[in-house]
């Protein structure tokens, strides 16, 4: 348990409120922020609430109550204390035993619960803060017209966290294609057109600017992967991308879209932002352009490309590129592909900050040198 966490247990009422006050205020002395774990708290009376109010006044920062049962949460809500303290309900537990796996991506796996609902179970390293951030962004994106599934419950699944979505008979596009490879290109064309439509939606400043965030974070690469001059060149390549106020999913690929009765519903919006559409071509480029050169072990360990042949990956990328850009001009497509690859490499090397060890040093060096070589050869305006 974290050092600033205090566990509340049993019943708190007028019989023990004075003793609780003495112990609680002493334990919290000097803490800037306090978390009260109410997982084992059965009941709290008005006398107990007054103790928490004193604690709040003594504490300079936030006082948060976590893992409150429904009955305890209702007390905080009825008395208005959830406006004084941050109160979070306990997560209910769910089991995925016997559930059908309908999709798998880099951050977790998706299972069918019943005809009406699915659950995405995130990997252990995905925090509840990230999940809450995704839920908040999804709701904002939905209001702007982005076709996304809105989550209505966060649950515990063993040692992991899951999000329940209401999606009727939905299945991720990877599985749809795997079952119908005869129409692979038709599926990719539909996906590319939906992506282009989504990337044309204008959003406001409540969404962070992808370009500005990338440029800012690149400064942290100095001394880790790059020299100061190399960071300058990387930033110059990103600065060359035109500014846009259009929606960016942040991890847009065929594993993060669910097909529901012919309608596309995007999930995993934790990285949603705004910017030029080239930033949303990165995930497909990593998987199906760069992935063509992946060895067998990497392919088998990468859910998104596992089961696709090199030829199928080439067809997916080629169809996606041509359809999204709406062109058959080979010279234009070649130039656009190079620029997408450069931006992809510039974004991928940022993984050394967020997910150390995701790529071996030689691959990171390749990504960096690809961007540096592009800069040294003369940066050109984006062609789309």
Q: Give the pairing type, strands 263-266 and 257-260.
A: antiparallel
Q: What whole-number distance in Å separates Cα of residue 24 and Cα of residue 198?
A: 51
User: DSSP secondary-structure letter at 289?
Assistant: I
Predicted TM-score of the model (pTM): 0.79
Q: What whole-number distance in Å separates Cα of residue 49 and Cα of residue 169?
A: 45
Q: Are 34 and 4 in contact (CB under 8 A)?
A: yes
Q: Are 207 and 247 in contact (CB under 8 A)?
A: yes
Q: What whole-number distance in Å separates Cα of residue 257 and Cα of residue 142?
A: 14
Q: Which two tokens stand for residue 300?
A: 């088998």
CA dihedral 335, 340, 345, 347 (to 10 degrees): 150
Q: What is the pLDDT along the chain (384 residues), one digit of tens a residue?
A: 456 889 999 999 999 999 999 999 998 888 888 999 999 999 999 999 999 999 998 888 889 999 999 899 999 999 999 899 999 888 889 999 999 988 776 678 889 998 888 898 998 888 887 888 888 898 899 999 999 987 878 899 999 999 898 876 788 899 999 999 999 999 999 999 999 999 999 999 999 999 999 999 999 999 999 999 999 999 999 999 999 999 999 999 999 998 988 899 998 888 899 999 999 999 999 999 999 998 888 888 888 899 999 999 999 999 999 999 999 999 999 999 999 999 999 999 998 888 888 888 999 999 999 999 999 999 999 999
Within a 10 A sphere around the Cβ of 254, how many other Cβ atoms?
A: 25
The answer for residues whose C-beta is within 8 angstroms of residue 199's C-beta and 6 or more apart is: 246, 247, 248, 277, 280
Q: Are 279 and 230 in contact (CB under 8 A)?
A: no
Sketch out the chain's domains with CATH numbers: 5-89 (3.30.750.24), 100-166 (3.30.200.20), 171-377 (3.90.1200)
The residue among 196, 171, 139 whose CA lies nearest residue 325 is: 196
The residue among 320, 340, 285 whose CA lies nearest residue 177 is: 320
Within a 10 A sphere around the Cβ of 263, how many other Cβ atoms?
A: 12
Alpha helices in the chain (DSSP H): 17-28, 46-58, 70-79, 128-143, 173-179, 184-198, 210-218, 228-239, 282-284, 296-300, 310-325, 330-348, 351-354, 361-377
């Amino acid at each position: 348990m974290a050092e600033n966490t205090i566990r509340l247990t049993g019943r708190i009422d007028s019989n023990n409120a004075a003793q609780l006050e003495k112990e609680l205020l002493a334990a919290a002395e000097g803490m800037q922020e306090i978390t009260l774990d109410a997982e084992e708290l059965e009941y709290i009376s008005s006398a107990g609430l007054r103790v928490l109010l004193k604690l709040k006044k003594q504490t300079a920062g936030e006082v948060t109550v976590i893992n409150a049962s429904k009955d305890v949460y209702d007390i905080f809500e009825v008395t208005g204390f959830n406006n004084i303290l941050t109160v979070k309900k306990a997560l209910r537990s769910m089991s995925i035993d016997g559930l059908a796996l309908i999709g798998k991506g880099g951050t977790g796996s998706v299972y069918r619960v019943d005809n009406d609902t699915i659950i995405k179970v995130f990997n252990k390293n995905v925090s509840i803060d990230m999940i809450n951030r995704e839920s908040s962004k999804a709701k904002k994106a939905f209001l702007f017209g982005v076709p996304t599934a809105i989550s209505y419950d966060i649950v515990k699944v063993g040692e992991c966290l899951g999000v329940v979505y209401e999606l009727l008979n939905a299945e991720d596009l990877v599985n749809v294609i795997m079952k119908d490879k005869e129409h692979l290109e038709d599926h990719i064309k539909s996906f590319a057109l939906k992506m282009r439509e989504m990337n044309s939606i204008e959003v406001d400043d409540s969404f962070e600017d992808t370009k500005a965030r990338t440029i800012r974070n690149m400064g942290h690469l100095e001394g880790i992967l790059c020299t100061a001059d190399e960071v300058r060149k990387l930033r110059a390549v990103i600065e060359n991308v035109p500014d846009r106020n259009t929606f960016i999913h942040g991890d847009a690929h065929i594993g993060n879209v669910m097909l529901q009765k012919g309608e596309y519903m995007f999930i995993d919006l934790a990285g949603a932002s705004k910017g030029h559409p080239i930033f949303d071509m990165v995930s497909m480029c990593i998987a199906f352009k760069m992935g063509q050169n992946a060895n067998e072990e990497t392919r088998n360990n990468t859910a998104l490309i596992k089961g696709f042949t090199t030829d199928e990956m080439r067809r997916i990328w080629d169809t996606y590129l041509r359809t999204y850009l709406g062109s058959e001009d080979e010279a234009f497509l070649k130039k656009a592909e190079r620029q997408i690859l450069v931006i992809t490499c510039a974004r991928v090397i940022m993984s050394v900050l967020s997910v150390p060890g995701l790529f071996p040093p030689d691959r990171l060096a390749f990504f960096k040198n690809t961007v540096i070589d592009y800069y040294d050869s003369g940066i050109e305006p984006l062609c789309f």
